Amino acid sequence: MTLQEYVEEVLTLVESIPEGRVMSYGAIADVLADRAGRNSPRQVGTIMARHGGGVPWHRVVSSSGRLPPGHEREARARLLAEGVPLRGDRVLISEAGWVPGGSVPPERP
């Protein structure tokens, strides 16, 4: 598995996020764990920054629901339009978080 292929996997996964739901960088890295060496949320962030155009990048946020720096305004507008629950300028990941397979995130104490 080359890095280039990993990029493709990330972009494909992001495209598969349903409207009105979001995924965190960490969740993406977790789903694709080890496919490119190690589980590295940071690489996902870098990949989105460099190759994120062309996919619904606004559905990818930090684990605390923060929107991507420099694009907060646009991301917030798009998320609102899709009905994603927001608190201020943050996504309520516990409400809108999504993982492939259709289930809810790991645990919710």
Q: Which residues bind DNA (CB under 7 A)?
A: 3, 24-26, 36-38, 40-46, 48-50, 52-53, 57, 60, 62-64, 66, 68-71
User: At closest approach, how far in Å is the CB of 45 from DNA?
Assistant: 3
**Cβ closer to DNA: 4 or 103?**
4
Question: What residues contact 54, with CB distance under 8 A and at least 6 apart?
Answer: 11
Residue keyed to tokens 């409400």:
95
User: At closest approach, how far in Å is the CB of 101 from DNA?
Assistant: 18
User: At closest approach, how far in Å is the CB of 5 from DNA?
Assistant: 12
User: CA angle, corner 26, sides to 25 and 27, nearest 5?
Assistant: 90
Q: How many CB atoms lie within 10 A of CB 23?
A: 24
**Cβ closer to DNA: 5 or 19?**
5
